[in-house]
Amino acid sequence: MNSDAIILLAKKSGPTSFGAISDVKRALGTKKVGHTGTLDSFAQGLLVVCTGRLTKLAGYITAFDKSYSAVIKFGEETDTLEYTGNIIRKTRCPSLKELTDAVNTFTGPITQTPPLFSAIHIDGKRASDIARQGKNVQMPERNITVYSAQIKDTLFNEDNTVKYALIDFSVSKGTYIRSLARDIAAACGSSAHLIGLHRTKVGSFSIEAAAGYEKIKNFTIDSAINEMNENLNKTDKSQKEKQNDNEKLKKEIIDTRQDFTQELSVLCGFTNLTLTDDKALKDYCNGKPLHSSLFDFNLHQLKNNSLVAVFDKNKTFRGLFNKDSEGRLHHNFIIN
């Protein structure tokens, strides 16, 4: 079986992203595996996994926009901005109107401060490692875009304030939903943290097509609360249940693995070009300068800032090149 593949994997809450992709390694019998954007341990949802020589694609898929469903608990903020952290602040909960008004202001281009507990590097060290040492860290702000934010469900306190809210977000790369929850709550005069996070899309890839989706497809306020309690209480399955789940997931991974086809390339937003013949293939794979005769296509017609996926005459993916903002052509990588 060809180990060069794209795998859509539905990660359960609990394991790290690194731990989750070990299922892909075992299923396909390869050690060369890379995912295209980490999910926190407490989170679940879509991981786009590249295997074999296609791991070179991972960095480009990481840059895609993403969609999430998040369950936010109001009235308490934790140091990690999710339920495994320590509570550092308690406040009142917001009214539904306050929450709705706040959510509506968090769309479009905004500035965000990432969580202190994150994988972002500060002076060569992870911010989370510095935070665990009890040191103060000044997190740099970043520009992000929230394309949409919609309240899908709420659960109220006895005083009719919002205790939990399920909100769908569509965001640009580099957006932290934990920070959005914190900032939305602050805009309500409240505090908050996440008790559940479910990534539903990465670019044009959707969770519904992912191996293991059946195990996590029903994401609600109640399911997030139950999952949180199970994780906190370390509720575990029997060895037989684990084995059955692992065997089923292995089969799903094998059955749903995808070669990097021209159709998949279009889903990734790349422009496709096909090499004309064996000589063009040899020249391209040897890294010779890119020119129109390799493809029977005038490369001057490519738009600037284009990413181009190269295929041979047998429709096998051979590499990626780009046309930069000044119209210059550069090899990104070549697959021989």
**Which among 3, 20, 5, 4 has a CA at the least distance from the CA of 199?**
20
From the candidates 4, 23, 40, 183, give the one annotated as an active-site residue.
Answer: 40
Q: Residue 128 and residue 109: Cα distance in Å, rounded?
A: 26
Q: Are 121 and 81 in contact (CB under 8 A)?
A: no
- Which residues lie closer than 8 Å to 148 by C-beta, 6 or more apart? 107, 168, 169, 170
**Which among 215, 213, 209, 208 has a CA at the least distance from the CA of 237?**
215
**Which among 5, 2, 1, 8 has a CA at the least distance from the CA of 210?**
8
Q: How many residues does the chain have?
A: 336
Alpha-carbon dihedral angle through residues 75, 178, 23, 264, given to the nearest 10 degrees = 140
Q: Residue 41 and residue 38: Cα distance in Å, rounded?
A: 9
Active site residue 40: yes
Question: Which residues, listed in sequence order, are joined to residue 156 by a DSSP beta bridge?
Answer: 162
Q: Are 47 and 36 in contact (CB under 8 A)?
A: yes
Based on C-alpha coordinates, what's the Rg of the chain?
Answer: 22
**Which among 232, 233, 235 has a CA at the least distance from the CA of 85?**
232
The residues annotated as belonging to the active site are 40
